């Protein structure tokens, strides 16, 4: 059951940005996260399972992956603990091929509803926003500027596997702005000085739409704010200075989702 | 500028639950968090400032605390780094007296609008929920069951100082249920099988109201679900299994806030 030192070393390399870049692979662990992968037909190249630590639900999941043709490799709990970065290793570790992240390719022939993350560097916030984007029916997440990596372990964990549920593009801000111009995307910018959302987007856009979210520390890039067709805020009491960035972004997504649902005949 | 070993030891003790319990004190660091403390007249017993690491904004803040009678103690950056738990110590560290947390005392003569956290053990989620509760005009947060500590460093940091903006009571679930009965509090429970919020609470309550939120792993205690006057959910696509607990709770708070705002003449 012991993995070779070389195998552990190559798995550990995937916990670093450098290792993920070099190989085009990433890791995901845990039952809930991997269940999402299966649900969205995002199959790992191989799956390590520690029979001594995995739960019954995890064993059943490994069985399903096996039936789908995924090589399942037995491993000891301590070997997996040396690779993963969770306090209590769940005994299930998948090695995945990074999916395409080209903006033009993922936008395709549009129109798309996008969440545009502008330099959201906090992995927890980014993962949570990806989860909310999938929940509230956005069909593309775009990472511009200095965002955390879509498939960094903390982001995948914070997304609870939603990283497998929605396509994620990575592009420089200039490229995003070019696409917005070319495709006439209706750009809605989150901005504390904006309007309440239902009013701000009362006029529906026929083409693609994008909700742009900035980081808590720096807000949105001026180029996005200037280009925006509308600026929206989450109204709240002055008792706090601001909301958490993932909270504010998710509330805007939900409010937009409600607007779109009301319009659907 | 060097603090004594004994002083550093007693400060470090406040980073542990045991130390906080024994002394009734807690620590808070960073400019944004301490600005919130000042804004809400929640003054530290003493404030440590490292002139070499603090920002201009932090220096001005220390000056304001000093004018309010807070003893300001110069300290070296490395001493403060040994006490705090942030990667880049902000050079400002306040020592606070823990505020009263008795439910009956804080509820007072009501009616109150409460957020009731049922065993929310994740410090990040709890801090974020406290921040949202303050933002969306709830006037009491109640921690029941196995919640994270209201004034643990990670909770205070995740609250961005909102822990100073709203009273926080700690009580066993049985005591909370007794208060709900006695004060005829209108109890709204977050539950994936519930209704959309605006419909669920269309009939306003005259007395106190409570929004009960459970943890992501375990949901709400059966006793709360059974007692609830209404069950509310955040509608979302089946593409993800669930929302992050802090996101779902904050969206419900915002939707309730909107309902209450519309009713205010």
Best A39, A199, A217, A244 residue to mutate vs chain B (most B CBs within 10 Å): A244
Q: Which tens digits make up the pLDDT trace of A178-202?
A: 999 999 899 999 999 888 876 666 5
Could you say which of A36, A132, A257 has the minimum Cβ distance to residue B247? Answer: A132
At A181, which helix (H) or strand (E)? helix A173-182
* pLDDT value at residue B137: 94
Host H or E run for residue B125: helix B123-135
**pLDDT score of A16:** 92
What is the C-alpha to C-alpha distance for residues B184 and B74, in angstroms, rounded to an integer? Answer: 51
In sequence order, what are the beta bridge partners of B26?
A: B96
When the pLDDT of each residue in chain B is averaged and rounded to a whole number, the result is: 91
- Whole-angstrom distance, CA of residue B177 vs CA of residue B131: 24
Residue partners of B259: CB distance under 8 A and separation at least 6:
B197, B198, B201
CA distance to A95, A248, B64, B158, B205, per residue, from B107 (Å): 52, 29, 31, 24, 17
Residue B214 to residue B233: CA distance in whole angstroms: 12
Give the lowest-confidence range in B3-7, B155-159, B169-173, B176-180.
B3-7
Looking at the partner chain, which of A165, A241, A244 has a beta carbon nearest the beta carbon of B239? Answer: A165
Distance CA A34, CA A165 (A): 11
CA distance B3 to chain A (A): 32
Of B40, B237, B257, the CB nearest to A135: B237
Closest chain B C-alpha to A24 CA, distance in angstroms = 25
Residue A212 has pLDDT above 80, yes or no: yes
Average pLDDT over residues A157-173: 95
The tens digit of pLDDT for each residue in A23-72 reads: 999 999 999 999 999 999 999 999 999 988 899 999 999 999 999 999 99
Q: B24 near B74, Cβ under 8 Å?
A: no
How many helices and strands (H and E) does chain A possess? 12, 10
| Shortest CA gap B28–chain A (Å) | 17
Q: Give DSSP secondary structure letters for B12-43.
A: HHTTSHHHHHHHTEEEEESHHHHHHHHHTT--
Distance (Å, whole) CA B39 – CA B24: 22
CB contact under 8 A, A128 and B244: yes
Tell whether pTM > 0.80. Answer: yes
- List of chain A residues whose C-beta atoms are within 8 Å of the C-beta of residue B86: none
pLDDT above 70 for B216: yes
DSSP output for A64-100 = HHHHTT--EEE--HHHHHHH--SSS--SEEEEEEPPP
Lowest average pLDDT, out of A83-97, A139-153, A211-225, B98-112, goes to A83-97
φ, ψ (nearest 5 deg) of residue A211:
-105, 115
Q: Does A156 touch chain B (CB under 8 A)?
A: no
d(CA A174, nearest CA chain B) in Å: 31
Which residues in chain A are contacts of B234 at CB distance < 8 A? Answer: 254
């Amino acid at each position: 059951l012991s993995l070779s030192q070389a195998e552990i070393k190559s798995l550990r390399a995937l916990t670093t940005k450098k290792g993920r870049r070099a190989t085009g692979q990433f890791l995901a662990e845990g039952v809930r996260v991997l269940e999402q992968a299966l649900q969205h037909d995002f199959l790992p190249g191989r799956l390590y399972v520690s029979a001594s630590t995995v739960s019954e639900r995890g064993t059943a999941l490994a069985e399903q992956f096996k039936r789908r043709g995924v090589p399942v490799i037995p491993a000891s709990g301590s070997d997996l603990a040396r690779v993963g970065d969770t306090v209590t290793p769940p005994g299930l570790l998948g090695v995945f091929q990074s999916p395409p992240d080209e903006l033009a390719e993922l936008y395709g022939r549009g129109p798309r509803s996008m969440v545009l993350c502008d330099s959201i560097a906090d992995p927890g916030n980014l993962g949570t926003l990806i989860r909310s984007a999938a929940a509230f029916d956005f069909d593309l997440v775009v990472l511009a500027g200095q965002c955390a990596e879509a498939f960094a372990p903390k982001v995948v964990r914070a997304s609870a596997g939603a990283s497998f549920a929605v396509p994620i593009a990575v592009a420089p801000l200039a490229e995003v702005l070019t696409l917005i111009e070319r495709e006439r995307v209706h750009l809605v910018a989150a901005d504390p000085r904006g309007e309440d959302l239902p009013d701000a987007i009362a006029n529906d856009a026929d083409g693609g739409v994008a909700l742009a979210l900035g980081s808590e520390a720096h807000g949105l890039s001026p180029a996005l704010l200037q280009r925006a067709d509308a600026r929206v805020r989450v109204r709240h009491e002055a008792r706090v200075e601001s909301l958490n960035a993932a909270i504010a972004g998710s509330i805007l997504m939900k409010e937009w989702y409600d607007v779109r649902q009301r319009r659907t005949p």
